[in-house]
Amino acid sequence: MTAGITYDTGALIAAERNDRQLWALHRRALERGQVPTVPAGVLAQGWRGGPQAQLSRLLAGCRIESLDEVRARSAGAACRVARSSDVVDASVVVGAAARDDLVVTSDPDDIARLGDALRIAMGIHVV
C-alpha cells in the first residue's frame, strides 16, 4: 500500500473538468487523512488563470511541493538517467518515490518510463 498520493498535470485537468473518478479518489484520500501532493511544476502546467473553480477546490485540499534546489537537482539527474527532458514528470516521479506515493496521471507511459529508468516501482492510477 502506498503512503499517499501525488497528482500530475493530468489529474489537475481531470479535476477542472469535474471528472467523477478523480473527485472520488480525492475524497477517499482526504477521508483517510491523506493530503495529496502537487509538485509546483505540475501546478504551473495546469494553472491557466481565471476562475478555474474546480481546480481551486482541489488545490485547497492539497499540499504544494516546492521545487527547491535539492528537488531540482534530483529531477535533473532523473532526466539524465531516463534520457528525458520533462523535468516536471521527473519531479513527480522523484517526489512520489521519496514518499512512496501513488501517482495519479493521464500519461502513465511517461511516468512508468521514468520510474523504470530509475528502477523505482511506481504505483500509477490513470485518470
Compute the mean pLDDT over every residue in the chain, rounded to the nearest whole number: 95
Quote the pTM value.
0.94
Q: Report the Cα–Cα distance between both ends of the chain, in Å, rounded.
A: 19
Share of the chain above pLDDT 90, in %: 94
Tell me how far apart the alpha carbons of residues 9 and 44 are, in angstroms, rounded to a whole number.
9
Question: Taking 60 as the threshold, does the pLDDT of residue 13 lie above it?
Answer: yes
The topology (CATH level 3) of 4-126 is Rossmann fold (3.40.50)
Mean pLDDT of 92-121: 96
State residue 2's pLDDT score: 63
State residue 49's pLDDT score: 86
Q: Which grid cell sits at 121?
A: 516501482
Residue 103: exposure state from Cβ atoms within 10 A (0-12, 13-18, ≥19): buried
Residue-wise pLDDT for 54-100, tens only, equals 999 999 999 999 999 999 999 999 999 999 999 999 999 999 999 99
The H or E element containing residue 102 is strand 101-105
Question: Taking 60 as the threshold, does the pLDDT of residue 1 lie above it?
Answer: no
State residue 3's pLDDT score: 85
